Structures are given as C-alpha cells and as structure tokens.
Amino acid sequence: MSNHQPITHSARNPMRVGVLGFGGLGQAAARVLAPKREMRWVAAADQKGYVYSTEGLDPDRCIEVYRDRGSLGDLEPGGTHSTQSIEDLIRRGSQGVDGYFLALPNLPNTFMASVAKAFIESGWRGVLVDALKRTSAVEQLLELQDDLNNAGITYMTGCGATPGLLTAAAAVAAQSYAEIHSVKITFGVGIANWEAYRATIREDIAHLPGYDVERARAMTDAEVEALLDETDGLLKLEGMEHADDIMLELAGICDRDRVTVGGVVDTRNPKKPLSTNVRVTGRTFEGKISTHTFTLGDETSMAANVCGPAFGYLKAGINLHRRGIHGLFTAAEVMPQFVR
Ligand code: NAD
C-alpha cells in the first residue's frame, strides 16, 4: 500500500481501542465510542482494576458497575482487580489493542510520563493519546521522544480541548499571517458537580494563586468542597501554565510567551459561564493587523470537546503507526481524522 492511500477501517475491521482512567472523561469516552463503526472499545482500566474483551465492552454496564461498585474490576465477566491495573492490562491485551486514550489524572505532574515509560518497557507497539494540560508535563514526554520511537509507539500529546482542539485551530488560523503576535485562549466550562471530574478540578485548583500540583493533589474532597463553597463553585483562572504554548512553539508558529490561557469553570452549573474561544492576532503579508476568532458552540460540553478530538487524533495516530511513523507528536502538528 502506498503511503498516501488512506487505510480503511470498518465495522468488520475496526481499530481496537482502550481507555485508561474511567472517571468523568473515561466514561464520556466510552459513550462517544459507542456509535462508532470504525473503532471498537475493547479495554479499560481504573485505579483498582481493569477489563478486556475482544468482543467489545458495553458502556452502560461498565458505567453502572464503576458507579455502584467503585471499579471495573467488579465487572462480570471480564473484570479483574489489580493494584497495577495499567501494567496488567498492557500485558493481557498486548496484541489486541491498537491504541489507548489516556484519560488519567496527571497527579503527580510526572504520572503521565511514568505511564508512557511503562508502555515503552512493556514491548507493546501502538498508539497513545493524552489530554495533558501542563507545559512541564509535555516537556517530560519530549524527553521520551527517542525511547517512544525505538519502542514503536506513536504518542499524540495534548489532544483534548485546550490543549488540543483550540491549539489546532490556532495553528490553522495562523496561516493567514506572516507574523503571529498573540494567541489568546479563553475557556468556559460548566459541570453540574465537581465529583464527576475530580482530577480535572484538582488540576485546575493547582493553577490558583497560592496552590501548586502537590498541594491540590493532597487536598481531601472536603477541602475541595470548602474551597468551592468560598467561591460559589467558580474557579477563575488566568495566566495558566498550559502546553498550548510549547505546542505552538514546537510547530514553529510563535514563541511560547505569546500564548496565554485562562478561563472560568463553574462546578455547579452545566451551562458554560462564557463561550470558549481562541483569538489569533497577527500581521498579514500586506502589513494589516487582524484577529481570527474561533468560538466553540456553547452547547458543547467539555467532555465532547475533549473526547471527540482525542479519538480523532487516535485515528490519525493509528494511520501514522501503520505507515511506520513512530515517536511523539502534538495536536498542533497533525490533523485529527474524523472517526465514523
Ligand atoms: P477523574 O478524576 O474523573 O477520573 C480519573 C480516573 O483515573 C478514575 O477512574 C481513577 O480510578 C483512574 N486512575 C487514577 N489513578 C490510576 C492509576 N494509577 N491506574 C489506573 N487508573 C487510575 O478524572 P477526569 O476529571 O476525567 O480527568 C482526567 C484527565 O483529563 C485530567 O488529567 C484532566 O486534567 C484532563 N483533562 C484535560 C482536558 C483538556 O482539554 N486537555 C480537559 C479536561 C480534563
């Protein structure tokens, strides 16, 4: 097959995918995958167990068991309890999974890089996609570039909403300009209750003045609730350490100090407190200064804007992998491919 021929996936020959982490995003990922013909969801893991089925997993059943029993390890048949569920699942499903979406908390800030190392050491070959947020976390993966390449792993990083969808939109918008002056990402997130996305909220708290990742990680649920009580459930974030900056710099679009990210998270209302948007300002070849704005629809949830792109990048990564292209890629340098 020539390198330029698209590889066709179908219900008879679907991409077999796994989801690591089965909290807010992991469960949404299972629902996003359910109607897809090109992908079959065959594996999942949480902190206490994992499940693997070549026939495919039922999202309703998995979500029910996780909610009522606390782990996919309790799923019958197929569930297995484990305190090292990721390593065990990699071994068990080694030949049967083409790629994984890592819907895992990055707590501590080195966790995702340690998961990447576990995959490298396991001998598994395939595609990994994350929705990492922090610049320093993506920097750790950059150091693993050669190891990923040598291991035959195609790793797509920063492939959620921001970084992810909005970073990619900025990379496209930048093409009108001869010089990029600023990329300004402003997000609005509305969720009905913070417990549905504990890691996301803890990682956001880590950006507040006076907090860091370790402090936010060590907070009890009661302490998180007390903090949210003080702010009426709102988290107002500015000047965040977000990997959109390093991703746009690596893509050659602008220096990282021209990229800013901030937003508002309402943890008590699914309605977005503001419309998520990215504004890309630059100078055209004629010398005109202008701004492109890309705004997400207010009805789209955080889960839709993270999981959709994550699987779009997983499909793109699987096509790269099948062409023998391995190593580390970001959402700003590869186009996501729509999963049917
Ligand atoms: P969550 O807290 O709801 O769920 C985390 C899940 O991971 C749980 O199922 C837990 O059991 C599992 N887990 C934890 N440690 C594990 C381990 N060692 N092995 C296996 N499983 C383990 O998390 P969430 O709110 O869905 O967030 C997931 C990640 O997505 C966070 O890091 C968050 O920052 C990121 N995120 C990114 C974007 C983006 O746009 N890029 C947006 C939202 C969230």
List the residue whose alpha carbon is closest to atom 7 of ligand 1: 21
- Percent over 70 (pLDDT), the chain: 98
- Percent over 90 (pLDDT), the chain: 95
Q: Model confidence over 271-318: pLDDT tens digits?
A: 999 999 999 999 999 999 999 999 999 999 999 999 999 999 999 999
E strands, the chain, in order: 15-20, 39-46, 49-52, 79-81, 99-102, 126-130, 153-157, 179-190, 234-237, 259-266, 277-283, 289-295, 327-330
Q: Is residue 273 within 8 Å of 190, Cβ to Cβ?
A: yes
List the residue whose alpha carbon is closest to atom 43 of ligand 1: 200
List the residue whose alpha carbon is closest to atom 13 of ligand 1: 47
Q: What integer pLDDT is reported at residue 2 of this predicted model?
A: 44
Q: Model confidence over 247-259: pLDDT tens digits?
A: 999 999 999 999 9
Across the range 108-119, mean pLDDT stands at: 97
Sketch the domain layout of the chain as residue ranges: 15-161+303-330, 165-298
Atom of ligand 1 lying closest to residue 159 CA: 41
CA of 199 to the centre of ligand 1 (A): 5
**The pair of three-digit structure tokens given for residue 129, joined into one six-digit string:** 């996609």
Instruction: List, chain by chain if needed, residues with CB within 6 Å of any ligand 1 atom.
Output: 20-26, 45-47, 85-86, 103-106, 131, 133, 160-164, 197-200, 203, 302, 306
What's the count of helices (H) and strands (E) in the chain, helices before strands?
12, 13
What order of strands is seen across the sheet that includes strand 289-295? 234-237, 259-266, 179-190, 277-283, 289-295
Mean of per-residue pLDDT scores for the chain: 96
CA of 154 to the centre of ligand 1 (A): 21
Atom of ligand 1 lying closest to residue 165 CA: 40
CA of 283 to the centre of ligand 1 (A): 39
Q: Greater confidence, 42 or 9?
A: 42
Atom of ligand 1 lying closest to residue 27 CA: 26
List the residue whose alpha carbon is closest to atom 33 of ligand 1: 200
Q: What integer pLDDT is reported at residue 6 of this predicted model?
A: 55
Q: Model confidence over 126-173: pLDDT tens digits?
A: 999 999 999 999 999 999 999 999 999 999 999 999 999 999 999 999
Residue 95's alpha-carbon distances to 10, 11, 90, 130, 324, in angstroms, are 19, 19, 9, 21, 17
Q: What integer pLDDT is reported at residue 93 of this predicted model?
A: 77
DSSP string, 165-197: HHHHHHHHHGGG-SEEEEEEEEEEEE-S-GGGG
What is the CATH code for 15-161+303-330? 3.40.50.720
CA of 53 to the centre of ligand 1 (A): 22
Q: Greater confidence, 339 or 6?
A: 339
- The pick from 22, 47, 205 for probing ligand 1's pocket by mutation, whose C-beta has the most ligand atoms within 8 angstroms, reads 47
Q: Which of the residues are catalytic?
A: 133, 203, 207
Q: Name the pLDDT band for 12 (thresholds 50, 70, 90).
A: confident
Q: What integer pLDDT is reported at residue 10 of this predicted model?
A: 76
CA of 284 to the centre of ligand 1 (A): 40
pTM of the complete model beyond 0.85: yes
Residue 262's alpha-carbon distances to 69, 101, 162, 215, in angstroms, are 36, 25, 10, 20
Predicted confidence (pLDDT) at residue 67 exceeds the cutoff of 80: yes
- The pick from 65, 101, 133, 276 for probing ligand 1's pocket by mutation, whose C-beta has the most ligand atoms within 8 angstroms, reads 133
CA of 88 to the centre of ligand 1 (A): 19
Helix axes 85-92, 111-122, angle to 10 degrees: 30
Q: What integer pLDDT is reported at residue 4 of this predicted model?
A: 54
